[in-house]
Amino acid sequence: MPTLTLPEGVHVELPEGEPIGAVLPKGTIAARVDGELRDLSFVPSAGALVEPIAPTSDEGLHVLRHSTAHVLAQAVCDLYPGATYAIGPAVADGFYYDFDLPEPVHAADLAKIDRRMRQIVKRNQRFVREEVTREVAIERLRDQPFKVEIIEAMGAGDTVSLYSNDGWVDLCLGPHVAHTGVLGAFKLTNVAGAYWRGDEKNPQLTRIYGTAWATQGDLDAYLHRLEEAERRDHRKLGHDLDLFSFPEEIGSGLAVFHPKGGLVRRLMEDYSRRRHEEAGYDFVYTPHITKAELFEISGHLTWFADGMFPPMELDGGTQYYLKPMNCPMHILIFKSRTRSYRELPLRFFEFGTVYRHELSGVVHGLTRVRGLTMDDAHIFTTREQLGDELGSVLTFVLDLLRDYGLDDFYMELSTRPESKAVGTEEEWNEATEALRQAAQAIDVPFVMDEGGGAFYGPKISVQARDAIGRTWQMSTIQVDFQLPQRFDMEYSGDDNARHRPIMIHRALFGSVERFFAVLTEHYAGAFPLWLAPEQLRFVPVADRHVAHCEELAAKAKAAGLRAFVDDSKESVGKKIRAAQLAKAPYTLVVGDQELESDAYTVRDRAGTETAGVTFDRLIDALVDEASSRSLVQTEFGSA
RNA sequence: GCCGGCGUGGCGCAGUCCGGUAGCGCAACCGACUUGUAAUCGGUAGGUCGUCGGUUCGAAUCCGACCGCCGGCUCCA
């Protein structure tokens, strides 16, 4: 009888030929045997170290999801005779399986597939693993061209593993749960198209997505998170709060900002401008269109013409393009006269609006648009200044993001790609090292992305987590050896010789539109007071109280607050409701009582009320809060 | 760009399968009520059913193209 060792140091005896499942605790979903992930049906050799894997662990969830994907494929094959199946992995939060189907599957069909899956689950079908030669596997899966293609790509003589349950066979490394009965906390979520092997030249398959969890409670919690994300969707909030829209007459991916959204945007931009001014940036302005020549020099027309709007042709045959980036124009400002080392670093900043011809299928709300405004700056430095400049840019970027309320970051440092890269090895090493030091000097975690840089220079990107834990790529700081060369940029050094400056591209918001979307979702539309389009709303109880409200609102405005009187002829209840829906930060109901004594009840947008506040005290507190730019709210409310 | 879904007054939807010339709620406007912390009551007006073309005696409804939106894929200088 072989003896097994469990991680707690417990030695267990296992009858010869018995699977490890026989001795593992109930609820175990798979096991790590001598470091390898195994099914519970695995028969170990004597002395093996066996670690049970719980369904709630990352590995356990992976097994669970992958097994659920098999059940999905089995159900689809039952319901759609002639279907062939490609790959079906576990992914973040769930799984998918790709199919080539004899007829289209629609979202409405998911319920039918789900029912079939649950029948399979109920039958407690065992997942049986076999190891066979390639030839046998090809024979067993001969009706499955995608599987055959995968097997044929493997080395000759390799053995492959097959999993079957109730006669349905799949090529699979495993491991899987012991039987389908342990599955169940799953839900099919959507159906989409996906290219075979992710290549758009390949045929497109039908991908069915699902989510799966260890318990029904976990599944419910996940579905609740999805609902929360939906509730915060900036496209919905943008409409409900009257912030922006995408008029069809203007075109796909082209936003207009309404007065309230425009106000929030202006506040965002104004604060950014002020900080840039303090940090030594010079403000420049450049046109939206340019002759083709500019982007021929920069190389964009050679590489990225597809991503640009097609050219406009003038009578003489000269072609003009909408600019997809601002950098070449900033370079021309640099080149407008001879530059001295004494001027460097030069920092040119612009809210530059650019146009990119994004494919019709990728346009998405404000996060992926065709017309966008970059908070774009280009910094030209000497080689000696590069390190210090990168350090201060990074600090500046993170400080500013924190002021907008994002404070959970990590950074990614992308280094020289393996193949083709401009700039010398030495320059790359210097710049990469400078970025690394800048990153290390800051108390924010950073990860390496080896070989992930663009061919023209290394970069740091800042990722921020929002209020519900989603990660957004925000700022990038990019060193560029390429454009200074293509534009033949130079400055006179203290040695009276010509030198080529190094260029840093950096954007904090990325695009103002996208940043607007991120903040809207981060705050769920309840912007902090300094960014809120409306800060204080007055609700008169009856018509005779309107005049008093107007007086109070005038005082609030004089103190610099954005105040608004709701003089609509509605009930108090209705006006309160309207204020709540508009996410007005603070609401004051004003009636006879307030005419008689200087004591107000302040209602915040969460519905919390504070009674007995004098008007002056309220205004002082709000002015304070609005200027603090802090997430901490006043004594009168919470976010 | 690709696969699938969708497009009906400002917004959310019904009607589309089975063709016979549009309906509900909210919002807007008018009137009554003069109101105390999330929806007062009554009335009025508003729609070439995304656009263009086709089939038909007749099209929101069937067919095609285009535009736009949604979910993914691919892409993202």
Predicted confidence (pLDDT) per residue in A98-129, tens digit: 999 888 788 878 888 999 999 999 999 999 99
> Closest nt to A105 (CA→C1')?
B4
> Closest nt to A200 (CA→C1')?
B74
- Written as six digits, the tokens of A156 are 């000759």
CB-to-strand B under 7 Å, chain A 96-125: 104, 106-107
CB neighbour list of residue A36: distance below 8 Å, 6 or more residues apart: none
Summary mean pLDDT of chain A: 90
CA A86 to C1' B1, whole Å: 23
CB-to-strand B under 7 Å, chain A 360-379: 360-365, 368
Indicate if CB(A246) is under 7 A from strand B: yes
Closest protein residue to B35 (Cα–C1'): A571
Lowest mean pLDDT among A158-162, A336-340, A469-473: A158-162
Q: What confidence score (pLDDT) does residue A635 get?
A: 61
| DSSP annotation of A545 | G
When pLDDT is averaged across residues A150-155 and rounded to a whole number, the result is 84
The answer to whether residue A155 scores a pLDDT higher than 90 is no
Q: What's the pLDDT tens digit per position in A605-617?
A: 999 999 999 999 9
Q: Who has greater pLDDT, A7 or A250? A: A250
Q: What confidence score (pLDDT) does residue A285 get?
A: 97
What is the pTM assigned to this prediction?
0.91
**Chain B bases near protein CB atoms (7 A cut-off):** 1-5, 7, 11-12, 27-28, 32-40, 67-77
Indicate if CB(A195) is under 7 A from strand B: yes
Indicate if CB(A461) is under 7 A from strand B: no
Q: Who has greater pLDDT, A148 or A554? A: A554
Indicate if CB(A229) is under 7 A from strand B: no
Provide the Cα torsion A582, A583, A586, A590; round to 10°. 30
> Closest nt to A590 (CA→C1')?
B36
Of A581, A605, A521, give the one whose Cα is nearest residue A230: A521
pLDDT band at residue A6, thresholds of 50, 70 and 90?
confident
In the three-class reduction of DSSP (H, G, I as helix; E, B as strand; rest coil), residue A413 is classed as strand
Q: What confidence score (pLDDT) does residue A630 get?
A: 60
DSSP readout, A363-390? Answer: -BTTTB-SEEEEEEEEEEE-TTTHHHHH
Indicate if CB(A287) is under 7 A from strand B: no
Per-residue buried b or exposed e for A255-266, using 16+ beta carbons within 10 Å of the residue's own CB: bebbebbebbbe
Q: What's the pLDDT tens digit per position in A552-590?
A: 999 999 999 999 999 998 999 999 999 999 999 999 999
pLDDT band at residue A68, thresholds of 50, 70 and 90?
very high
Q: For chain A, percent helix, then strand, then coil, each to nearest 5?
A: 35, 25, 40
Q: What's the pLDDT tens digit per position in A224-265?
A: 888 888 889 999 999 999 999 998 888 889 999 999 999 999
The answer to whether residue A638 scores a pLDDT higher than 50 is no
The answer to whether residue A604 scores a pLDDT higher than 80 is yes
Q: Who has greater pLDDT, A16 or A504? A: A504
Q: What confidence score (pLDDT) does residue A411 get?
A: 94
When pLDDT is averaged across residues A593-602 and rounded to a whole number, the result is 93
The answer to whether residue A639 scores a pLDDT higher than 50 is no
> Taken in order A332, A335, A341, A343, is the CA torsion positive or negative?
negative
When pLDDT is averaged across residues A262-273 and rounded to a whole number, the result is 96
Q: What's the pLDDT tens digit per position in A189-237?
A: 888 889 998 888 888 889 999 999 999 999 999 988 888 888 899 999 9
Q: What confidence score (pLDDT) does residue A610 get?
A: 93
> Closest nt to A539 (CA→C1')?
B37
